[in-house]
Structure 1
């Protein structure tokens, strides 16, 4: 398994391309710059088979419809945010200067935690709410990594001042769902550089009381 990080869109949100040896890939959080993302996928001769959303804030969904249409693939989002994609007041775009972001509804709803199998990909879905009600993290034991969305960052955590945010719930999610993963697990966040579970356990000031 291979992964590539691409900062896209108005907030340079990390989109991830997670690919296998057959050149199939999952596109995680395509936040914008659809043409750039499409060109990279085509240049690498990759075949997207699904779009996964860690949550439905505007800066994570801006290129969803373009990529979905180009490859005719399904979009997955947690059921708690099924109405957010077409609604600027829910996805947060109306509160920022990026203009209203409206995306067609998801094709598949993530209804609970568990193994999500798409083609030859198998990911464990963890519900990690707090930044938003439907935030999820996707863990690949095989690749030793977790796509944490905006729950956990290198040295920081997600903001909780947007609609549906809950600081106490976010801290609980991180401790109970992410910090229990193997310490060498690579954390691929929605913004900023990659980190590891071990590094955040030891040095994240929001989690260790320093």
Structure 2
């Protein structure tokens, strides 16, 4: 079984998640966009062993302190898909654009592809590429517990923005339909911002995907 704690970070209240295997206590941070001290405290308070930094896409509010934490814990950074490399190459410009403190440019240790698996203790996460908000956006799905971390693809009653460079509304809708709406109604998803929801609730009520 897996447990998780949602930890909002950055002025954009981005939902960073600390996830861990209950049996082994191995853990990962998904989308550590900022507030490194807060995230380090959360890892300590949960008494878990961090083994990965996982990234859904290359926007600054999702990756801002990934390198700092990877060095602090001596763990690798995995994700997103290679198509988001240009966002990592332009981290300095992102800092200026969004008014963030400068962060060092970095490249993840591993780019992820459709259908890959990430193992955290006894928990396995399925990787699916969901282009649209960014071209290399990925989501992480725990099929055993019907949980998904979807970054900025899908939100409660909304969807991700597609007005950034290389964004595509058509690709985003296709990704949601092909990769997320195929899941059972009871799958709970944790978005990049805002409240959690279920696939069934969004299937029934989200005006963007009717």
Which TM-score bucket, shorter chain as reference? over 0.9
Does 1:28 find its partner at 2:23?
Answer: no
Structure 1: gaps (5+ residues): none
Q: Which residue of 1 aligns with 2:82?
A: 79
Instruction: Give the structure 2 partner of residue 203 of structure 1.
Output: 205
- Is 1:114 equivalent to 2:99 in the alignment? no
1:116 positional shift: 3.0
Change (3 A) 1:99 1:148: same
Q: TM-score, normalized by length of structure 2?
A: 0.92
Residue 191 of structure 1 deviates from its aligned partner by 0.3
Equivalenced residue count is: 207
Alignment-derived partner of residue 39 in structure 1:
41
CA distance in 2, matches of 1:145, 1:107: 25
Match of 1:58 among 32, 45, 60: 60
Equivalent pair of 2:27/2:120 in contact (CA under 8 Å): no
**Structure 1 residues 172, 57: CA separation in 2 closer, same or farther (over 3 Å shift)?**
same
Compared CA separation, residues 102 and 167, structure 1 to 2 (3 A): farther
For the pair 1:138 / 2:140, whether they are aligned, the reply is yes
Deviation at 1:38, TM superposition (A): 0.4
CA distance in 2, matches of 1:115, 1:42: 26
Partner of 2:70: 68
- Residue deviations 1:125-151, cap 9 Å, x none? 111000001001111011211100000
Residue 164 (structure 1) aligned to one of 163, 166, 176: 166
RMSD: 1.6
| Contact 2:5–2:19 (CA under 8 A) maintained in structure 1 | yes
Partner of 1:181: 183
Equivalent position to 2:194, from 169, 189, 192:
192
Deviation at 1:83, TM superposition (A): 4.2
CA distance in 2, matches of 1:89, 1:34: 18
Q: TM-score, normalised by structure 1?
A: 0.92
Report the counterpart of residue 16 of structure 2 in structure 1.
15
